[in-house]
Structure 1
Amino acid sequence: MNPKWHARRAAIDFIQNMIFCNLFNARQYAKQLHTLVLKYLFDEQLEVRITASTTLSGFYQCGYIQVTDEDLQYFCMMSKTNYFTEIDGKKVTLMKNIVKRHGGNRCVLGLCAIVLSSPYDISIHVPDALMLLCEHLYDPHVIQQSTQKCLSEFRRTHYDSWHEHQENFTEDQLLILTDVFISHSYYA
């Protein structure tokens, strides 16, 4: 792995373009590239993690890699990573734990990739991924920003046919999404 983050991000961009231009010739490399992209979700540099998430979402969207229940369960498990650590009896926020929760262990950015892989429909994994993302709305800034951006993009792409998409969610999930998407009045 190259020590310069620009090179790592360029490598992910190259992989994305290479696969999209040679989609039918590159099926045999799907597992290896899936592993590689997931590895780059662990990168310490934010730009590399975001590029890896975008690439993973594109792979999911075009069907090059299928979203599995194992992926969703793993993202769910990693979303529980505690970013606080006690040192000398004081709660301290460690950057490595924030990176781990954000994308390092494929959590929030992996969930965003699942949600954004279905831009105008709802795949079976999207409702659960959205619920997990809603739990991270009040996390530290980096995680919160990625979560809000993903939820905003989901709302934008599904707004026109929301009356049809609502059928894919349970009542509890719809209540949570309504609470997230509708801003509360300051004076209420």
Structure 2
Amino acid sequence: LMQYLLWNFKANFAVVRRSVFCLLPLLAHFENDSDQELALLCYQNLHIGLSNSSYIISSSHSTQNHSCFQTMHYSRSWKSKVSLLKFCQVLVFSNLFVFENYDRPQKILQLINYLITHPQVEVRLAAAESIAGFIQCGYFSVSPSFINFCEFAKKFLRKKSFLSLKELLREFRRTHQDNWDEHKKCFTFSQLKSINNLLVSPNYYV
């Protein structure tokens, strides 16, 4: 089945059928299987085959979205969640004309927010990386509510969630370093102070 799927992705230039997205939970799970041959085939299908040919139509979005939510919520393997987060990045980037419509950005954000508080650090870092990438490409906008959420993260969230949000802000600052003088105009003085206090380690020798 895995070999057939890979051949189908390479030979098919049409949109991906809905039935293929129902296999997402299996692909994400067996990508981390102890059987190296099976794991390699699942990796190729998920990150090479399906990602490179993942042009979908608007009507199939609900099926893909349902499959992602099912895997994120019910999978016991944190590695499956990381695999699916990386897949979602490529899927959205390849289909911005579909995913930017209606309430789809909000649903993707809800999906990532659910995982940014996951107990496993690898899942939280993958979720933070996803949000930073979507912000950088303009899929997510840095709204005042988003800024306030990050600003007060240390006060209201648990330590594990705070560390992921800290990594998210660090990644955002790093990717916007070249034009930071322009970007920082979007923040107030108190917000910039909070960001600096969050990202800059205190100097005990001063």
Within 5 Å, give how 1:117-156 maps onto structure 2. 117-119=134-136, 123-125=140-142, 128-129=145-146, 132=149, 135=153, 139-140=159-160, 146-156=164-174
Aligned residue number for residue 68 of structure 2: 37
1:65 aligns with 2:99: yes
Note the residue ranges of structure 2 that are not aligned, 5 or more in a row: 1-24
How much is the aligned-residue C-alpha RMSD, in angstroms? 4.3
What secondary structure sits across from 1:68 in the alignment? helix
Is contact 2:131–2:168 with CA below 8 Å preserved after alignment?
Answer: no
How far off is 1:32 after superposition? 2.0
1:176 aligns with 2:197: no
What secondary structure sits across from 1:117 in the alignment? helix
Counterparts of 2:189 and 2:39, CA distance in 1: 40
TM-score (normalised: structure 1): 0.58
Is contact 1:116–1:150 with CA below 8 Å preserved after alignment?
Answer: no
Higher strand residue share: 1
What secondary structure sits across from 2:99 in the alignment? coil
Is contact 1:12–1:55 with CA below 8 Å preserved after alignment?
Answer: no
Aligned pair partner of 2:84 in 46, 52, 59:
52
Identity %: 15
Within 5 Å, give how 1:11-22 maps onto structure 2. 11=42, 14-22=45-53
What amino acid sits opposite 2:119 in the alignment?
I
Counterparts of 2:116 and 2:166, CA distance in 1: 18
Higher helix residue share: 2
TM-score (normalised: structure 2): 0.54
1:6 aligns with 2:32: yes
Is contact 2:51–2:87 with CA below 8 Å preserved after alignment?
Answer: no
**Could you say which structure has the larger radius of gyration?**
2
Count of residue correspondences: 165
What secondary structure sits across from 1:44 in the alignment? coil
1:113 aligns with 2:113: no
How far off is 1:160 after superposition? 0.9
